[in-house]
Structure 1
Amino acid sequence: MAAALARYKLTFHVPPAALEACKAAVFAAGAGRYPGAGNYTECCFTVLGTGQFRPGAAANPHIGTAGALEHVEEARVETLCVGAEVARKAVAALKAAHPYEEPSYEVFKMEDF
């Protein structure tokens, strides 16, 4: 019997104007697919909130000015990646599609219960 692939949760923050492009990129990389008979794809949870950051002197920010504290509306997206390779591809796709020079994201390995 083949071992089940590990599951990872990818969470990222993105400005609303780039939300659909970033979701499309990570979904095309294989994220958001749930194994099983239902064959669900493009699954995620999205919530809007406020992000805060202060770009350093050498930064080239997409939003704001170097040295100035910024508060911006952002979407937080959570989606499933089945297998480490899918998680790696989804992160690479996110970085390529995201407008920020340093996108905020986290990959969390989910435990089996």
Structure 2
Amino acid sequence: MSRTALSIDVLVFYSPVEATEGVLAAVFAAGAGAIGDYTECAWFTEGTGQFRPGVGASPAIGSVGELERVPEHRVEVTFRRGLRREVVAALRAAHPYEEPAFHVIETADVEVG
């Protein structure tokens, strides 16, 4: 039986609660959230995001110079490493914030098969 290495990344992003479903739909359409025979897999929890838009910012929520606190979801989805560019582009295109907060975690390759 031959084994192959599966290269998986994890995308973690923060989204205003009311926008999470739309952002998830976009990253799913780009290929994120597939685990074996399952699709649209994600984990999220609610918390509070904080930011202060600086001079030159065009905030979707809040005002320049004012501290803002917003109910947000922290969302985690996995995806095949080869889809990184497409998944991040989908996140940025669908996210309502001018500068969405996110990070990509490169995980160790896992043998499958």
- 1:89-100 equivalences under 5 Å are 89-100=86-97
The residue aligned with 1:88 is 85
Q: Is the CA contact 2:5–2:109 (under 8 Å) kept in the aligned structure 1?
A: no
Q: TM-score, normalised by structure 2?
A: 0.90
1:24 is paired with a residue of what secondary structure? helix
Structure 1, unaligned stretches of length 5 or more?
none
The residue aligned with 2:11 is 10
- The percentage of aligned residue pairs carrying the same residue is 50
Q: Distance in 2 between matches of 1:27 and 1:72?
A: 24
CA shift, 1:3, in A, is 4.4
Runs of 4+ with deviation above 4 angstroms: none
What is the aligned length?
Answer: 109
1:108 aligns with 2:109: no
Deviations 1:50-89 (A, max 9, x none): 0010100110000000001111110110010112x31221
1:4 is paired with a residue of what secondary structure? strand
Report the structure, 1 or 2, having the larger strand content: 2
The residue aligned with 2:60 is 62
The residue aligned with 1:22 is 23
Aligned CA-pair RMSD: 1.4
CA shift, 1:4, in A, is 2.3
1:71 aligns with 2:69: yes
Q: Distance in 2 between matches of 1:19 and 1:52?
A: 17
CA shift, 1:5, in A, is 3.5
